[in-house]
Every structure is written in structure tokens, then in C-alpha cells.
């Protein structure tokens, strides 16, 4: 097996990349909602923070009861215990990547973990 994986981000409603790329250190999902649609549940996490990167469109999230609008280019970090629910705007579909990692687990940043040559 090769030491890399490749996948094409289609317009599926949700794809968890641990399934298609064999991820072992983070969960990343690609999410697409049509205009006016929303994630049908509120959720929290036990240990993992989530980073949402809005790829296209616009919408809003309810984060611990507070409505937060977002648009393409925005990045939102959500702590594990925050109650969250995401929706597309009535007039715009929305696509985002969600990166889920254990809170406070980052030991080295890009340069610290890099080996040159």
C-alpha cells in the first residue's frame, strides 16, 4: 500500500475522510447543505474540538444558543462542550470542511514536526 491517499471532494452531503483516506490522527469531514437546509441535530463532543472551514456559500451556526453567521473563507473553532448546529442560508447552499481533533493534543506545530531533506 502507498504511503499516501487521494480522494475527490464530490458534492455528497457528508463524507468522513477517515473512511476514504484511512486517517489515523484526525477526523475530517466534507459537508454540503442545499439552500435552506440544516443539520438535523444538535451535538457536543466528549474530548474533540472542531474546526470548521467554510469553503463556499453562507449560513449560520447556533453555538451554545448564540447565532453566528458565516460565509466562504470564515474559520470557526468550537470547543468540545459547545452545543452546535449548522444551517445553510435560505438563499445559498454551503460547503465546509470540519476537522476534529483531541483538544489540547497538539505537541508540535508544522515547523517543529518537519524534517528537511
Q: pLDDT tens per residue, the chain (117 residues)? A: 578 888 888 878 888 888 888 888 899 999 999 999 999 999 999 999 999 999 999 999 999 999 999 999 999 999 999 999 999 999 999 999 999 999 998 888 777 788 888
Hey, what's the cell of 109?
A: 506545530
CB atoms within 10 A of CB 23: 13
d(CA 6, CA 58): 27
Task: Return the domain boundaries, the chain.
Answer: 14-104
Q: Which residues contact 18 (CB under 8 A, 6 or more apart)?
A: 24, 27, 28
Cut 0.75: pTM above it: yes
Instruction: Tell me the fold of 14-104.
Output: Jelly Rolls (2.60.120)
Amino acid at each position: 500500500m502507498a504511503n499516501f491517499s487521494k480522494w475527490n471532494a464530490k458534492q455528497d452531503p457528508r463524507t468522513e475522510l477517515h473512511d476514504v483516506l484511512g486517517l489515523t490522527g484526525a477526523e475530517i469531514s466534507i459537508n454540503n447543505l442545499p439552500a435552506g437546509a440544516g443539520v438535523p441535530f444538535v451535538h457536543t463532543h466528549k474530548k474533540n474540538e472542531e474546526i470548521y472551514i467554510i469553503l463556499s456559500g453562507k449560513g449560520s451556526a447556533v453555538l451554545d444558543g448564540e447565532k453566528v453567521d458565516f460565509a466562504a473563507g470564515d474559520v470557526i473553532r468550537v470547543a468540545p462542550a459547545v452545543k452546535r448546529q449548522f444551517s445553510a442560508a435560505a438563499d445559498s447552499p454551503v460547503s465546509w470542511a470540519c476537522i476534529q481533533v483531541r483538544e489540547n493534543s497538539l505537541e508540535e506545530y508544522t515547523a517543529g514536526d518537519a524534517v528537511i531533506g
